[in-house]
Structure 1
Amino acid sequence: MSETSAGEEGAWKIALALSVVLTLSVALCEPAPREAVGRFLGVVGLSALLLGWGVRGGWTWLNGGPRWRAVTVIAGGALALRLAAWMAPVSLSDDVWRYVWDGAIVAAGENPYAETPRERVRRVQGEFDGVSDEVDRAERAELERLNSPDYHTVYPPGAQAVFASATIAAGWLGGVSERWLRLVFVLADLLAVLLIARALLAMRRAVGWAALYAWHPLVVWEVGGGGHTEALAVGLMVVLVLMLGRSRPWMVGAVIGLSALAKLTFLIVSPLVGVALWRRGRFRDALIAACVAVGVVVAGYMPFWFEDLIANQRESVALYAGVFSFDAPLYYAARYLLGYREGVSDPVTHILSPALQLATMATLVAATLWQDGSRRRLASSMVVGWAGYLVFNPVLHPWYALGLLAAAALAGSWSVSLAGLALMLSYLFYDPAVGRPEEIAVMVVQSVWAAAVVGWQMGPRAITWALRRRAKTKFDAVRPYLRPGDRVLDLGAGEGFVGALVAEAGHEVVLAEVDDRNRTALPMVTYDGEFLPLDDDQFDVAIIAYTLHHARHPDQVLAEAARVARRLVILETVYERSWDRRLVTFLDHSANRLRGMAPEPLYFDRVEGWLERLQARSLKVLTWRWLGRGVHRHVIIVADRQGAQR
């Protein structure tokens, strides 16, 4: 190993070690994180920079050596970071106290779904009228630190079993239930890290992507510091990716059911997995998996069944769906646009909630239909599904993103991991000094940051996808005018995607463009925009797709095209009125900016103008027709300088 590479290796290991120390400093310093949010976020931000540098600097080392070495380092760093956060007192979220409450009830052999915490305290005090003041004060203090003490618990039976195990461990081994419970979450999440690494290897992706989840500050603090049930379900979600195509469908269904018993929101991935199974084999496999999943969930709830179970659960879920809202920029913006003003106008939840639920369902349907039966596509669609759920949810706590961040690691979506960091800014909302204007500013920052980093990674991919889709549309329009054996010139070829489709149809194709943006294996000829360095009659057909309005001298381009090819197939944007021309100019400039092209003068014409130009060059127009007369008016024109004869 060279001195430089050894230095780089040492630097990123130091960055990881410093991040552990920073995380530990929060645990050892007073006050607790929620009482010093600014300091806590500063530590998180510095830790994120160090860890990002560590992942980037150690990328070659992590992925270039033995797999066991990389997995050991990633998992070791994950454990160290989580244990450092575990040592901090609970303050970021109060959910863990409800877990402890439920766990004590289950460990005592009672039903946690039967009563609200306040109802239980009143009942117990009524049964034990002689209870001491000290015990009464302790019960009331425990009650007051719970969230929503007047609502029934919504945590499913699998999570309840884990809660109870922490209570039992505290009774047998000493300590407090909260610490044992968070330790269980840490260990469960460490297993998820190992499973992510295994899934990446199965998908033949770099194992280093596992560090996006393993070392992510949000994951570290929400699992080790806050303690959340998502940690129980993340690993099961990853198992579903590993099982795809290699396990019996009933086993897949069982894992789906178990993930739902750990955290109900993880049912989001169930339709994705079902359709992936269907695409790989038979519809029967998906149906078996679905039936088994439902059976596992029902079996999990059966020990807790009583007459009002469903009613109590529905009431509590309605609280989250219709009452609570937190750090949800889209929700607040939509509510404002609908005319809602807090304390002034009537609520608009009855309109907004169904609309957001419909948008969530539409996103999940799109992600589901995107399946092709592969693990890679399943992982990517999980990112889409989770993102849709979070974006349209009126409540967006940071820990809700654990499933998204795990899916992002599987899919190699580093931008989603970066976007997730901004969710931790929502802890500023607990600071008494932060009012509504500051909250809005934070949500704007979160939204802009997420859009910027995701666009940074996904923008080029989305543009390429759109260009290929548009190329298919162009080819479908041109194909009827191509004859078997035609030699084709794609003039103004851009990236070459249209020419590639023509070549796939069995034609010999050459691309021509003023600058080389070719992204295909086809030969490319560059020219000055006026004179083509090609022989007379070298081609049978010249395709000129939405190019002429970019040419400084479109008549010269037509003349050159007619010289080197016998037949011209022209796709062109046209206008009919002056405002129409201004609109298509704006749209064209906007689209080309996304492709990295600077704005330039455009030379649009009417249909009649192009027909006259062709006839002036002794080209006979064989046919022309509208391809669209909406906002974007465009036509196809076929002309031959030798009439209808070849």
Structure 2
Amino acid sequence: MALLLTGAAYWGLAYATPRTHFGQLLGLFAVAGAAYAWLLHTRLPLRWGLGAALVFRLLWLPATPALSNDFYRFRWDGLLVSHGHNPFAKTPRQLLAATPTDSAALPLPELRHLLPLLNSPAYFSVYPPVCQALYGAAARAFPTSQTGFLMVVRGALLLADAGAAALLLWLLPLAGWPARRALAYLLHPLAVVEVMGNVHMEGAVVFFLLLTGALLARRRAGWPPGAGPGRGHQAAAAAGAAAAGPAAGAAALSLVFGGAGGQPRAAVSPLSFVGFTAAHRPQPGLVFPKF
């Protein structure tokens, strides 16, 4: 019954709750939260919980986010990237107010449609390079379809959540906790609604942080050289976390490159700063060399 109530609450949030209907929004979140607490209290079998977590996420796949309008900016940036333009160079208003020399290469009809829907048309993009690459790929695949764009982004976030689930199922028993505790994250209403519902990239940050934890656990377990992921994979995980989110990147770099006893090496400070800066301040040259 709790699973059915949760599914009904998510369907209502995804397809029948305008952002301005606060009472309905609060009520459906309350139902989802109460059902979540009940599912954890009744010790839902792990397989059932993993299946429910997948179904709850798939339910949002074709939905248009009603609780956040950030996705319009995601699509705006993606359209620029897919047409070879730097999404960090100008604000949306500046871009359409000017007459660019290569205006023929701009998807002007789509951009003009999106401009009044943006919540920050006078601000530069704040989304880091990994996000921009994903938005660009989604816009290239579906240049005129908002639903198609959202499905590509959600597909990537679904893969990130699947990776997070796999890492949790490995890390928790390693730490002496039951694998079932993974459901505390995977079934949490905010993790479902904010990541799959509102297409926010925190799901990718969680995956990269867990991957960093797995790599750190591998090193502390004293696996022989060549067994398991190597330092190149550690650096890749740290870089991924840095590009996905600033705080995640700084934390990941500190963990991956820490010295004995958890004390950071001398190199951690500059590495963490570089990772934080790459995520917090967009660096167009890292992803868009011609700029």
Cα deviations across residues 57-103 of structure 1 (Å, max 9, x unaligned)?
Answer: 025xx3xxxxxxx2x43332112112223444212111111111111
Deviation at 1:198, TM superposition (A): 2.0
Q: Which residue of 1 aligns with 2:191?
A: 219
Verify the 8 A CA contact 2:216 2:256 in the aligned structure 1: no
**Distance in 2 separating the partners of 1:289 and 1:76:** 41
Q: Which residue of 1 aligns with 2:33?
A: 48
Verify the 8 A CA contact 1:240 1:273 in the aligned structure 2: yes
One of 174, 186, 191 as aligned partner of 1:202: 174
- The structure with more radius of gyration: 1
**Distance in 1 separating the partners of 2:272 and 2:284:** 12
Deviation at 1:106, TM superposition (A): 0.8
Cα deviations across residues 311-362 of structure 1 (Å, max 9, x unaligned)?
Answer: xxxxxxxxxxxxxxxxxxxxxxxxxxxxxxxxxxxxxxxxxxxxxxxxxxxx
Deviation at 1:128, TM superposition (A): 5.9
**Distance in 1 separating the partners of 2:272 and 2:264:** 14
Does 2:58 match 1:83?
yes
Q: Superposed, which structure 2 residues align to 1:551-630 within 5 Å?
A: none
**Distance in 2 separating the partners of 1:174 and 1:36:** 24
Q: Which residue of 1 aligns with 2:237?
A: 255
Deviation at 1:166, TM superposition (A): 1.1
- Counterpart of 2:142 in structure 1: which amino acid? A
Q: Superposed, which structure 2 residues align to 1:485-500 within 5 Å?
A: none
Change over 3 Å in CA distance of 1:140–1:272 after alignment to 2: same
Cα deviations across residues 171-197 of structure 1 (Å, max 9, x unaligned)?
Answer: 599953133223322332232223222
Q: Which residue of 2 aligns with 1:572?
A: none
Verify the 8 A CA contact 1:240 1:255 in the aligned structure 2: yes
Deviation at 1:148, TM superposition (A): 1.6
Q: CA RMSD in A?
A: 3.5
Does 2:86 match 1:114?
no
One of 264, 287, 298 as aligned partner of 2:267: 287
**Distance in 2 separating the partners of 1:58 and 1:274:** 34
**Distance in 1 separating the partners of 2:165 and 2:289:** 35
**Distance in 1 separating the partners of 2:147 and 2:198:** 18
Verify the 8 A CA contact 1:157 1:261 in the aligned structure 2: yes
Q: How many residues in Structure 1 have an aligned counterpart in Structure 2?
A: 275
One of 161, 169, 176 as aligned partner of 2:141: 169
**Distance in 1 separating the partners of 2:254 and 2:113:** 44
Percent identity, please.
27
Q: Superposed, which structure 2 residues align to 1:286-435 within 5 Å?
A: 287=267, 291=271, 294=274, 297=278, 301-304=285-288
Verify the 8 A CA contact 2:2 2:35 in the aligned structure 1: yes
Deviation at 1:144, TM superposition (A): 1.6
Report the 3-state secondary structure (helix = DSSP H, G, I; strand = E; otherwise coil) of the residue aligned with 1:227. coil
**Distance in 1 separating the partners of 2:99 and 2:65:** 27
Report the 3-state secondary structure (helix = DSSP H, G, I; strand = E; otherwise coil) of the residue aligned with 2:218. coil
One of 165, 170, 195 as aligned partner of 1:193: 165
- Counterpart of 2:288 in structure 1: which amino acid? F
Q: Which residue of 1 aligns with 2:151?
A: 179
One of 124, 129, 134 as aligned partner of 1:152: 124
Cα deviations across residues 249-305 of structure 1 (Å, max 9, x unaligned)?
Answer: 55333311211112223134246515854315x865x73796499489599852436
Verify the 8 A CA contact 1:97 1:146 in the aligned structure 2: yes
**Distance in 2 separating the partners of 1:244 and 1:234:** 15
Change over 3 Å in CA distance of 1:271–1:50 after alignment to 2: same
**Distance in 2 separating the partners of 1:124 and 1:214:** 47
**Distance in 2 separating the partners of 1:148 and 1:173:** 22
Cα deviations across residues 462-491 of structure 1 (Å, max 9, x unaligned)?
Answer: xxxxxxxxxxxxxxxxxxxxxxxxxxxxxx
Verify the 8 A CA contact 1:253 1:292 in the aligned structure 2: no
Verify the 8 A CA contact 1:250 1:288 in the aligned structure 2: no
Report the 3-state secondary structure (helix = DSSP H, G, I; strand = E; otherwise coil) of the residue aligned with 2:248. helix
Identify the structure with the greater strand proportion.
1
Verify the 8 A CA contact 2:243 2:275 in the aligned structure 1: no
Change over 3 Å in CA distance of 1:20–1:190 after alignment to 2: farther
Query: Which one scores higher on RCO, CA 8 angstroms, separation ≥ 6?
Result: 2
**Distance in 2 separating the partners of 1:198 and 1:111:** 40
Stretches of structure 2 that go unaligned for 5 or more consecutive residues are 220-229
Q: Which residue of 2 aligns with 1:97?
A: 72
Does 2:11 match 1:24?
yes
- Counterpart of 1:104 in structure 2: which amino acid? L
**Distance in 1 separating the partners of 2:260 and 2:67:** 42
Change over 3 Å in CA distance of 1:51–1:122 after alignment to 2: same
- Counterpart of 1:49 in structure 2: which amino acid? A
Change over 3 Å in CA distance of 1:185–1:33 after alignment to 2: farther
**Distance in 2 separating the partners of 1:291 and 1:272:** 8
Verify the 8 A CA contact 1:90 1:225 in the aligned structure 2: yes
